[in-house]
Structure 1
């Protein structure tokens, strides 16, 4: 499906900026809305000057968007605005809750007013610390509503609920549950596993693995995730769809792979596990494969190598002595 004009909330974030870029490459006119609480202007550097791209600094959770869309309309509203890493939602708990609650409703109101399709970027965190492996879309989860991750987990669960309510009002809605995504433009300071391991490896610092390192994660490169988001947005399935890579990696093995690809001398250091840290996280993507024809294409070694290269190129060059 071709989208003529799209609004992307959280479009200056890690995944959001890649989504803006891909839509522009497909010929869509894009309005990016972001309050820059965690998004970065440099993520949009390549888009500046593009006549089909517009940036608006706005907090979608603070107030309804009343001055967009009425003149020309949208045919896609994609809601990605939210702090997404523990480091950020621990620091911004109320903003995280607002992004999932009021922010989702404001984005849905705009979609309803303009007749746009609505895409919610939900998360695998709605499954909590899962008791079923891999996680299918009909698994209801094992979530602690008062735990340290609750502001993010419950905000996304509420976002799915209100999206479903607007679907009953006649809005065409789609829900993508995004599993662990990595790639260029991840903030080195956001506290998530991949950027932390890469930052430590490039500095030859100890790579800190939480717990025993036997817990697993499944990593999906951002290019695959963005393809998946657009497949969900374009598809006919209204119920949630998992978007992730079903190949599980032990965290300890991931740390060793990052060290190898970075050519690092970093030792592996084990630290205390975080509260409510899932032991296993792996998507069942049978629905995405069967109904959308989507599956990830980039293997972990290839994706991590390109991510490490991009991160190394972002680092400032050392200053020569005497300058």
Structure 2
């Protein structure tokens, strides 16, 4: 099952994005963007937003999206694939042939897909895709003359927070376990951050790192390893909402429309060479999250707790996964504008089999 976006919800979200980015869109006028990961969840939202702004303000913005399978994306978003502002460059992030064009901005978010992870993808393949794909993309960036690069990293790079921490700041020096093969993505993102900084210093462009946490909204998959997606799907279609763990882990969720404003602001105005946490700092226990989804989507259904620990269901035992976002809030006036109740309601309204 996938989540799509009815036109009224998407239109409302895009209007909010355009409004919150007011005064920043001119930076994209007559410019070009090269994007990896553009057909995934983040990429889809970025493309929808950039295309709307391009049409609304007549920016003459050009976007090239690297993709392995443009035909599959064409089925999901035909209006994007038909736009003259967007072209698709076919290739794998690890070895794609470099386009001959020059670009102003580069957004690098390519990794193996969430579905591949859910289906038990080999950890070494995941690691290679992120690390080698980042290096290949940076080699292209050096050739294409970019001025500014946004790297989409992950909050996983912090590993397990120390006891007593309620949020994770950017200067936290924790790290994932080097002997846990399930930390492949986290280790790869750490290496990719280093590569990004090295290439930027060597070739003289600006860069910003976005360490992304957890998100919710239309277009997200609802039947893999995302707790909030599973809860929303179950609330709509199953007999009850099931919490596989003991429900005591703490998470937070930023709505996808808010995320777009964050990422584009970081691309344009983030401080050069700086790492920013990206997400919500409003914590919620997984048990309370299930009950919140129940109250918003299906009050008549029950919540069932299986009580398994995080380790027993194959995940690193991490109780807290909530970012400290004071840096982005203070420096760039970014915030959590969409409350979790509204985010759940809008995502549930977007369900489509």
Q: Report SS of the residue matched to 1:78.
A: strand
Separation in structure 2 between the aligned mates of residue 303 and residue 278 of structure 1, nearest angstrom: 24
2:130 aligned to which of 71, 96, 100 = 100
Deviations 1:9-68 (CA, angstroms, capped at 9, x unpaired): 11111111101121222223221212259x85544333132110112332102x1442x1
Contact 2:310 2:318 in 1 (8 A): no
Specify which of 48, 66, 78 is matched with residue 21 of structure 1. Answer: 48
Aligned Cα root-mean-square deviation (Å): 2.1
* Contact residue 8 and residue 79 of structure 1 kept, 8 A: yes
Displacement of 1:119 after TM fit? 1.0
1:253 to 284, 288, 310: 288
State the secondary structure of the residue aligned to 1:149: helix
- 2:154 is aligned to 123
Q: Cα gap change, 1:206/1:128 in structure 2, threshold over 3 Å: closer, same or farther?
A: farther
Q: 1:149 to 1:134 in 2, by over 3 A?
A: same
1:232-290 Cα distance to aligned partner (Å, 9 max, x none):
11123322101111100111111111122222524323242333131011111111012
Partner of 2:272: 237
1:212, distance to aligned residue in structure 2 (A): 2.0
Residue equivalent to 1:81: 110
> Equivalent residue of 2:350, what SS?
helix
Q: CA deviation at 1:188?
A: 2.2
- Partner of 2:173, secondary structure, is coil
The structure 1 residue matched to 2:318, chosen from 266, 278, 302, is: 278
Q: Is the 8 Å Cα contact of residues 8 and 33 (structure 1) preserved in structure 2? A: yes
Q: Is the 8 A contact 1:209 1:271 kept in 2?
A: yes
1:45 aligns with 2:81: no
**TM-score, structure 2 normalization:** 0.81
1:65–1:107 CA contact under 8 A, matched in 2: no
Q: Distance in 2 between matches of 1:14 and 1:31?
A: 17
Between the two proteins, the alignment pairs up a number of residues equal to: 308
Q: What is the TM-score of this pair, normalised by structure 1? A: 0.88
> 1:200–1:266: 8 Å Cα contact kept in structure 2?
no
Aligned counterparts of 1:36 and 1:247: Cα–Cα separation in 2: 36
Counterpart mapping for 1:123-142 below 5 A: 123-131=154-162, 132-142=165-175
Q: Secondary structure at the match of 2:82?
A: coil
Q: Deviations over 1:81-102 (max 9, x none)?
A: 1136486163253342123111
Q: Residue 97 of structure 1 contacts residue 152 of structure 1 at CA under 8 Å; is this kept in 2?
A: yes
**In the alignment, is the contact (CA less than 8 A) between 1:65 and 1:106 conserved in 2?**
no
Superposed CA deviations along residues 209-244 of structure 1, whole A, max 9, x for unmatched, are 243212110100111111111111112332210111
SS of 1:50's equivalent?
coil
Q: 1:183 to 1:96 in 2, by over 3 A?
A: same
Mapped partners of 2:317, 2:74: distance in 1: 31
SS in structure 2 opposite 1:156? helix
1:12–1:43: structure 2 CA closer, same or farther, 3 Å change rule? farther
- Mark the CA change 1:40 to 1:250 in structure 2 (over 3 Å): closer, same or farther: farther
Moved more, 117-126 or 127-136: 127-136
